Amino acid sequence: MFTRAIVRIPGSNFDAGLTTVALGRPRFDQVLEQHRRYCEALVECGLTLTKLEADLRYPDSTFVEDTAILTARGAVLTRPGAKSREGEVDALRATVERFYPSTLSIGAPGTLDGGDICEAEDRFLIGLSHRTNEEGARQLAAHLGGLGYSSSTIDVRGMTTILHLKSGISYIGENTVVVMEEMAENEAFAGYELIRVGEEESYAANCVRVNDRVLVAAGFPKLTAALRARGFESLALDMSEFRRMDGGLSCLSLRF
């Protein structure tokens, strides 16, 4: 069970952030409205929110997930792989330290984005991506090992359609992984129940289990039906504006 989440309100320069997709510029009024609804959904799922003010120094800083790994046994501050996002960690540090008095961290030359880290009970999958390098993965694996978690890596650097590991997979509890069809045969998922997401709905593979619900992006009926068929209750949220900046549901919060 999660009890809390940290979120950061998007800044008015949100559209100056990084993106690899050509879906047009996000409309700021809708960005704020979608974020407001996202926060409301987390509260409906039982979480108490720590809502940080917009930080105009970092246009991507509403994607708080990338800056820390928060577990039941400890916290790791990351070192984001994109130069423009490096400072986001210092901006979040004091907030994380309110809840985790002693934090671990990733140091140079390691880089690591939280979007590459998938927690599945006591095991973590660490994506090697264009943001998370081998040294960052090695440091995180050592930290997690010290906390009593096991981990393994998955290399997604060859995949052009996803930014982070969790753009393509989500662990939703009950030994179940939602996974993009393209990655479903990876041996990392042996032993899990898989809900496969076809190419036409691949954006929706980034979903988030929050207590009794699975938050999913709105507009992906096949995944919603597959979740229902497996007994998961979903809650759909409009993510159109965050998608324009390569963002998914998980990246907008740190849940713990």
**Chain residues that interact with ligand CIR, rule: CB under 6 A:** 17-19, 60, 63, 65-66, 82, 85, 115, 163-164, 167, 245-248, 250-251
State in angstroms the smallest separation of the CB of 101 from ligand CIR: 25
State in angstroms the smallest separation of the CB of 246 from ligand CIR: 4
Residue in 39, 118, 143, 164 annotated catalytic:
164
CA distance 32 to 12: 9
State in angstroms the smallest separation of the CB of 35 from ligand CIR: 14
Read off φ and ψ for residue 202, nearest 5 degrees.
Answer: -60, -30
- The residue sitting closest to ligand CIR, measured at its beta carbon, is 115
DSSP letter at 73 equals S
CB nearer to ligand CIR: give 82 or 230: 82
CA–centroid distance for 6 within its chain: 12
Q: Which amino acid is at 57?
A: R
From residue 111, give the alpha-carbon distance in Å to each of 69, 133, 170, 188. Answer: 13, 6, 21, 22
Residue in 39, 45, 207, 251 annotated catalytic:
251
CB nearer to ligand CIR: give 112 or 144: 112
CB nearer to ligand CIR: give 123 or 130: 130
CA distance 76 to 70: 7
CB nearer to ligand CIR: give 159 or 230: 159
Q: Say how many CA atoms lie within 13 Å of 210 toward its Cβ.
A: 27
Q: Is 251 a known active-site residue?
A: yes
Q: Is 35 a known active-site residue?
A: no
CA distance 188 to 120: 12
CB nearer to ligand CIR: give 11 or 17: 17
DSSP letter at 173 equals S
State in angstroms the smallest separation of the CB of 11 from ligand CIR: 12
State in angstroms the smallest separation of the CB of 20 from ligand CIR: 7
From residue 51, give the alpha-carbon distance in Å to each of 11, 45, 224. Answer: 13, 16, 28
Active site residues: 164, 251
